[in-house]
Amino acid sequence: MDSTQNFNDFPTQNFNPLFFMNANSYANQNNNNFNQINLMNQMNNNINFNMNNFNQMNQMNNNININMNNNDNIIDLFPYIKEQKKIIKIINSNYKSNSIKIPISINKSELYSIADNYTSHPSLKFILSYKNIMIKEDESSIEEIPEGAEINIIEERPIPNTCYYDSLKKKYGDNNIKNITFIFQSGMKRVLHFPGEATLSDVKKSYYNKYGLN
């Protein structure tokens, strides 16, 4: 049979136009299915590509954060000294930490002088501790303190008490009571009542003792 034979050559009694309609519909449906599969594959590829980019961006951000954490707030206290240095972390009694870079040639007495700048309460007595072992304040080397060590500042804090404040009332009596307002740096206010005969030294000592201040 000639492959170029057209539809008119087919016997009319056997011709079923629905066959060709169904065939065309089946072909179109298959084409649509293939198009949908290709579209889904393309979407999956895009999703995988975006996920890969997202993961790469997260990894980059993590690397940036790690680098920032490693390098942030490291203070070189002696940049003019050109010698080997070590980084240590000093933590005060308020749990505030500072990473500092110090020359390895300094002694423990000098380390105490440095730590005095990072105390939570200036003028308070303190000791330094590494792994719960006291660091003596002497002229010995800091060689045994390793790179990255955490040095704790243990400060001597006064215990709040009202003994002296209460004693003023017994000493001077309740006559001529004066109200004195104390304003903290935070803006918080406290009012204490003193006998009129109390001295400024009495007021100062009462205030410091009552709130545990140095």
- Divide the 214 residues of the chain into consecutive groups of 10 and give the mean pLDDT of each group: 43 43 48 53 52 49 43 80 93 90 94 91 83 93 94 85 88 88 85 91 87 72
Prediction pTM value: 0.47
Q: Are residues 59 and 87 in the same domain?
A: no
Q: Are residues 57 and 130 in the same domain?
A: no
Separation of CA 59 from chain center: 19
Q: Are residues 65 and 122 in the same domain?
A: no
Structure tokens at 158: 């006064």
Q: Are residues 63 and 78 in the same domain?
A: no
Structure tokens at 80: 């003019």
Q: Are residues 131 and 181 in the same domain?
A: no
Number of domains in the chain: 3
- What pLDDT shows up at residue 16? 45
Give backbone dihedrals phi and psi of 165, rounded to 5 degrees, phi first: -60, -45
**Residue 68 Cα distances to 61, 71, 95, 97, angstroms:** 10, 5, 21, 16
- What pLDDT shows up at residue 5? 43
Structure tokens at 129: 């501790």
Q: What does DSSP say about strands 126-130 and 150-155: parallel, antiparallel, or unpaired?
A: antiparallel
Residue 35 lies in a domain: yes
Last residue of a domain, one of 155, 174, 198: 155
Residue 149 lies in a domain: yes
Q: Are residues 65 and 87 in the same domain?
A: no
Q: Are residues 50 and 84 in the same domain?
A: no
Residue 7 lies in a domain: no
Whether the CA torsion 18, 24, 25, 26 is positive or negative: it is: positive
Residue 1 lies in a domain: no
Residue with token string 């393309």: 42
Structure tokens at 166: 């209460």
Distance in angstroms (rounded) separating the CA atoms of residues 165 and 213: 14
- What pLDDT shows up at residue 129? 94
Residue 97 lies in a domain: yes
Residue 120 lies in a domain: yes
Domain with 41, as residue range(s), is: 12-70
Q: Are residues 144 and 120 in the same domain?
A: yes
Q: Are residues 137 and 102 in the same domain?
A: yes
Residue 58 lies in a domain: yes
Residue 32 lies in a domain: yes
The size of the chain, in residues, is: 214
